[in-house]
Amino acid sequence: MMKEDNLTLRLKQYFGFDSFKGDQEAIIKSLMGGSDAFVLMPTGGGKSLCYQLPSLLMDGTAIVISPLIALMKNQVDVVNGLTEESGVAHFLNSSLNKQAITQVEEDVHSGKTKLLYVAPESLNKPDNLEFFQSFRISFYAIDEAHCISEWGHDFRPEYRNIRPTIDKIASSRGEKRAPIIALTATATDKVRSDIKKSLGIVDARDFKSSFNRPNLYYEVRQKASEEDADSQIIRFLKQHEGKSGIIYCLSRKKVEELSKKLQINGYKAAPYHAGLDTEVRTQTQDDFLREDIDIIVATIAFGMGIDKPDVRFVIHYDIPKSLEGYYQETGRAGRDGGEGRCIAFYSPKDLKKLEKFTDNKGEAEKEISRQLLEETKAYAESSVCRRKFLLHYFGEEYTKENCENCDNCKHPQKTEEAGEALLAVLKAIKAVKEEFDQSYIIDLVRGRATDNIVRHGHDKLPEFGGGMEINDRHPTIWNPVIRQAMIAHYICKDVENYGFLRLTPEGRQFIRSPKPFTVVLDRQFDEAEDSAYGNVTALDDKLYKLLKNLRKDVARKHNLPPYVVFQDISITLMATNYPITMDELLQIQGVGQGKAKKFGAEFIELIKRYCVENDIQRTDMMRVISLPNKSQKKLKIIELIDKRVPLDEIAKSQGCTFDELLDDIESIVNGGMKVDIGYYIDNDEVVDSDEVADIYEYFRTSETDDIDEAIEEADVYDDEDGLTAEQKTRLVLIKFMSEEGN
């Protein structure tokens, strides 16, 4: 084996570094000594060096199995830039023509190529097997190894066939197989176990780096609507002019729309998704690395292996499908140790859309997706330190109570004593023999005799309804109690078995000897009074609080819930832009002519007085330029509603689903415009009139516009072959907001 000082010299020679970082040196020595290795190292930790340096020093050619063509190109360029010789690194994938493939094969056979990047599909292709059997392989590096596991965030079935192909290559040469190093930035213990089993390296040495990235700031913002999120992003970019960043969207359509919107608002942005030509994607990636563009708007197809150290922000326009994906994508910010702001937009409605994506999957895959989404939901809604939550998810303990670099730590919520609630939960878990998930346990302690609970006979247990009195006082306490009990090690979740909750030894001890247990309640994203905006996006917190108090007074005077007067996004923007005339107020998101006339005068007067008393120097209000086609679509919808065309027919004519149409109408109404859909829902064939009256009355008296809560409280049910409970409730909320608020 190469001496330690020689290894450091080679590091300096090829990469220009004076010393190794973290476990890099130990990993390289292990690999060069012929051992298998599993490397769990966060994005920016220097994973690629762990196989690039040994490939240059060992006999033969290293095979790097990588999932994305863009990643391969980027890394091949980096390695070829390390030496004066050409062809030291190559990639072999479907993008190459016959001549290019011949060149790769010649360079490999001549011994010139030390590093060959291949897609798993290329490695496993029978036509390529003879080529891989024709040269000496120094080792195999499986990059982005989480793709092997169905519990990972980017499962690729072809990754499951890697080990059988490696065995075929070794047996044909009559040699012992070359060492395997598996590398990933994100893996829970379950994913790590899956990877090692699939690759046949269960005895491999583990190298696990800390997941903590102290320089990254984590924040979750509520997304009231797409227009709201667009405006918040443009305001954010205004405050971070010229900085480099990535914005992730779930759909290609949104990627295209948002990138165009950023461009017409003066930002150097470009779209990136799998539907674009390879040449276009490559050019966009190069432009980003060369800083010809500042912002990439992308699907998750972008970013793996992109070595850009000064990405200053990563924004998730939609909440991600898993925390593994979220962590890896946020890890692309601040890789140089400098500023890295990670902002995710969250709406429970988006979560429901993600759940619908799994409808056509098999039962096992659907269950995995459901559990991963549950974890994402918990992260978004939790008020505990986001760093503590993330590190706990990846099996790492974070001992500080306040990281001082996330929204929850900068703006802590009040704590609640919950020892009694925890005891009820722990007893319920024990009573059902630790064989049910979180939602079942919550129903049990609340005393809800669901069909499932009755079928199992658990409504007869003494623990059934054990938390009813607590529930009357604190109906939203159960999720935070269970989530924070996991972090405190009283409960663990068995991911192998449908997310069943299990008691830990500490949990059993708590039952025997209860003690105080403090929790912070979750954020209620659909409740105007408790949304995240005040703490996160209002530039003038003092004014924000004054405006919220005024909103309460105005709501009381008009006998309306506060959210009907102005939504939180409107109050937030008022506390950011200081509108002091009616024209300026009308520029605020969610303020239309009706709202402005009905409620606006008092708000304008308060802001005007506040600016004088506090010597506020107002800047011109920032205008966000919208895409014309979106405005035209909404105008068309308004026109068709004015003509009293049935909503299901409008949806067909606009080429969208009924739910997507409701999204658009909600956006119109939340924008402050009055829309009369009474002709559609005041019809017993569409929605029962008594049901409409009950839902309407619920919204009139409730402090929240939460759809799920309304469905439960107003006893709304799906109609057979008709509208769902959610659709009916949304329709009535649109009617209510339009009539009472606009």
Question: What span, in angstroms and rounded, lies between the C-alpha atoms of 185 and 262?
Answer: 30
Question: What span, in angstroms and rounded, lies between the C-alpha atoms of 373 and 322?
Answer: 6
Any domain includes 623? no
- Please check whether residues 333 and 405 belong to one and the same domain: yes
- Please check whether residues 428 and 379 belong to one and the same domain: no
Any domain includes 529? no
Strand order of the sheet with strand 295-298?
216-222, 340-346, 311-316, 244-248, 295-298, 269-272
CATH value at residue 163: 3.40.50.300
Any domain includes 525? no
What pairing do the DSSP bridges indicate for beta strands 137-142 and 61-65? parallel
Sign of CA dihedral 487, 489, 490, 492: positive
Any domain includes 552? yes
- Please check whether residues 235 and 315 belong to one and the same domain: yes
CB count in 10 Å sphere of residue 481 = 29
- Please check whether residues 400 and 481 belong to one and the same domain: no
Question: What span, in angstroms and rounded, lies between the C-alpha atoms of 631 and 233?
Answer: 19
- Please check whether residues 65 and 202 belong to one and the same domain: yes
CB count in 10 Å sphere of residue 333 = 28
C-beta separation of 732 from 738 below 8 A? no
In this prediction, the residues of the chain whose per-residue pLDDT falls under 50 are 1, 3-4, 526-537
Sequence-ordered strand ranges (E) for 616-725? none
- Please check whether residues 425 and 405 belong to one and the same domain: no
CATH value at residue 719: 1.10.10.1390
Torsion region of 526: left, alpha or beta (phi above 0 gives left; psi -120 to 50 gives alpha): alpha
Encoding tokens for residue 369? 């997706």
Any domain includes 625? no
Q: Which helix (H) or strand (E) holds 681?
A: helix 678-681
The amino acid present at 376, given as its one-letter code, is T
Kindly report the pTM of this predicted structure. 0.69
Domain span including residue 729: 630-741
Any domain includes 534? no
- Please check whether residues 255 and 395 belong to one and the same domain: yes
- Please check whether residues 575 and 487 belong to one and the same domain: no
- Please check whether residues 403 and 482 belong to one and the same domain: no
What is the model's pLDDT at position 598? 87
What is the model's pLDDT at position 626? 62
- Strand, helix or coil at 93? coil
CB count in 10 Å sphere of residue 300 = 18
Angle subtended at Cα 636 by Cα 253 and Cα 723, rounded to the nearest 5 degrees: 75
DSSP state of 436: S
Any domain includes 536? no
- Please check whether residues 480 and 375 belong to one and the same domain: no
In DSSP notation, 192-239 reads HHHHHHHHT-TTPEEEE-----TTEEEEEEE-S-HHHHHHHHHHHHHH
| Total tally of structural domains belonging to the chain | 5
Beta bridge partners of 693: none
Dihedral over alpha carbons 363, 366, 367, 370 (to 10 degrees) = -160
What is the model's pLDDT at position 531? 36
Question: What span, in angstroms and rounded, lies between the C-alpha atoms of 415 and 418?
Answer: 9
**Residue at which a domain ends, from 410, 427, 460:** 410
Nearest residue to 696 via CA among 680, 684, 710: 710
**Residue at which a domain ends, from 180, 208, 236:** 208
CATH value at residue 476: 1.10.10.10
Exposed/middle/buried for 715, CB within 10 Å: 0-12, 13-18, 19+? Answer: exposed
**Residue at which a domain ends, from 208, 236, 271:** 208
Any domain includes 523? no
Please provide the size of the chain in residues.
742
Nearest residue to 611 via CA among 565, 542, 538, 533: 542
- Please check whether residues 73 and 180 belong to one and the same domain: yes
Encoding tokens for residue 201? 């390296």
Question: What span, in angstroms and rounded, lies between the C-alpha atoms of 624 and 264?
Answer: 9
CATH value at residue 601: 1.10.150.80
- Phi first, then psi: what are they for 622, rounded to 5°? -75, 130
Question: What span, in angstroms and rounded, lies between the C-alpha atoms of 501 and 482?
Answer: 9
The whole-angstrom distance between residue 41's C-alpha and the CA centroid of its chain comes to 20
- Please check whether residues 321 and 239 belong to one and the same domain: yes
